[in-house]
Amino acid sequence: MVAQDGKVDGTTICSRLLGAAYLYPHVVPDPFSLSVALRADDEFIVVANAALWDVVTPEDAVEEIYEIGSPVVAAKHLQDLAQVRSTIRICLL
């Protein structure tokens, strides 16, 4: 059930959400997925949600984190980048 604040069961605005079985049947775990064939020279993969991909291209993501040795630091860097770009995008609208 959607509450007055627009959230499903007062928890989330998402209608598709993994890991929220307690919200079924109002929220359905039906994610978008994309398969990409890995090549022998691939060094890492970036798994992210639409919030990142809306403001960062895959090429930008790789360029931003290629030299970072730690996956945790790389993830934090992409998170920060997405937040900055989202803020700029909102301000420009």
Residues 57 and 20 in one domain: no
* Number of domain units in the chain: 2
Range of the domain at 25: 1-31
C-alpha dist (Å) from residue 88 to 23, 62, 70, 84, 91: 33, 21, 27, 6, 5
State how far the Cα of 46 lies from the Cα of 57, in Å rounded to an integer. Answer: 11
> What does the pLDDT profile of the chain (93 residues) look like in tens digits?
777 787 888 888 777 777 778 888 777 777 667 788 999 999 999 988 888 999 999 999 999 999 999 999 999 999 999 999 988 766 765
The tokens 């989202």 sit on which residue?
86
Bridge partner list, 2: 8
Tokens representing 67 are 């030299």
Predicted TM-score (pTM) of this structure = 0.64
Q: Are residues 26 and 66 in the same domain?
A: no
